[in-house]
Amino acid sequence: MFPIAQVLWHEATTFTRPSRKTEPHEIMDNLAQVKSYVQAYAWGGAMSVVQLHHISELSLMIRPGDTILDLACGPGPLLLELAAIYPECKFIGADLSPLMLQHLEQETRIRELKNVSVLRDDIRTLLSLQDRTVDLVITTIALHHMPDEVSLRTVFQRVRSLLKPGGGFYIFDFALLKSPKTRRIIVEEARKVAPPITTEDYDMSLQAAFPLDVACRLAQEELPRPFLTSSCAFADFFVSFKTQSSTQRSSRAQEAIDQIWRKLPLSLKFEYLMLRRLRRHTNIA
């Protein structure tokens, strides 16, 4: 069971925050890393809880016929799930890593998905996409790879320019924890279900996260309003920015969510419920 009491204690008794430590590389170009990443996102793996959370949230945002852009999609674990649930929508996966995109293309062929295309491009510029051509922009656990605040601001600005009038966005990432002890606890929990190479990447990602106040400030300055900011209620573990729900959840989406839920072990079900319920929300008008 997740040691929430220890996390609460360490975060409450830590009064200085460590400096952000940027990732050594923006692009994951190691084959072993890519394979481990894919394994972590398999159902029952280390990222199952957040994956189900994303699908649950996005199932209230994706409308029939939408064009959805996944920024820094990696090998596309979320994109692939969504493309199967919404065959009438168009999905674009953008990333700079050839290995990641090769895996995504291979999986689209294996799963016979006809509504997915890939784009090798820098998410700060996305020169191959025209303004106001996307209905929904999503990016999950990826923006901490940005080297600095200027880059993060630029991504937010590009999100704004890409959206059609009335378009939406869903952004989810880590936030910088206050206590190194908290980070070590969380990493050790991940080590129980993830291979060593993924655990090491996870640790670096937590250290590379932007401070919550920085991410929120840049979002408020650059993203189109209104939107909802959500963060962890007991620690600066994650932050999310999303436009309001715009549709009803389809029966196909509900069936997919129910099927995933039934297959999750009790420990992951508990973590999922904790993630869903222990959040604080702020409306940005």
Separation of CA 68 from chain center: 14
Helices and strands, counts by H and E, the chain? 11, 8
Q: Tell me the C-alpha distance between 86 and 88, whole Å.
A: 5
Q: Which of 168, 158, 176 is nearest to 119 (CA)?
A: 158
Task: Compute the average pLDDT of residues 252-273.
Answer: 94
- For residue 241, the cross-strand partners are 171, 229
Q: What does the pLDDT read at residue 39?
A: 83
Residue 44 pLDDT level (bands cut at 50, 70, 90): confident
Q: Tell me the C-alpha distance between 196 and 36, whole Å.
A: 9
Residue 284 pLDDT level (bands cut at 50, 70, 90): very high
Handedness of CA 190, 196, 197, 201 (dihedral sign): positive
Q: What does the pLDDT read at residue 194?
A: 81
pTM exceeding the 0.85 threshold for the entire prediction = yes
Q: What does the pLDDT read at residue 2?
A: 74
Q: What does the pLDDT read at residue 1?
A: 63
Q: What does the pLDDT read at residue 159?
A: 98
- Distance separating the N- and C-terminal Cα atoms of the chain: 37
Q: What does the pLDDT read at residue 40?
A: 82
Q: What does the pLDDT read at residue 259?
A: 96
Q: What does the pLDDT read at residue 28?
A: 75
Q: Tell me the C-alpha distance between 20 and 168, whole Å.
A: 29
Percent of the chain predicted with pLDDT > 70: 100
Q: Which of 74, 69, 90, 11 is nearest to 37 (CA)?
A: 74
Residue 197 has pLDDT above 90, yes or no: no
Q: Are 63 and 134 in contact (CB under 8 A)?
A: no
Task: Compute the average pLDDT of residues 144-153.
Answer: 97
- Of 41 and 141, the structure prediction assigns the larger pLDDT to 141
Sheet holding 134-140, edge to edge: 116-120, 90-95, 67-71, 134-140, 163-174, 238-242, 227-232, 279-284
Q: 102-139: per-residue pLDDT in tens?
A: 999 999 999 999 999 999 999 999 999 999 999 999 99
Q: 62-102: per-residue pLDDT in tens?
A: 999 999 999 999 999 999 999 999 999 999 999 999 999 99
Task: Compute the average pLDDT of residues 129-153.
Answer: 97
CATH code of the domain made up of 4-11+22-284: 3.40.50.150
Residue 35 pLDDT level (bands cut at 50, 70, 90): confident
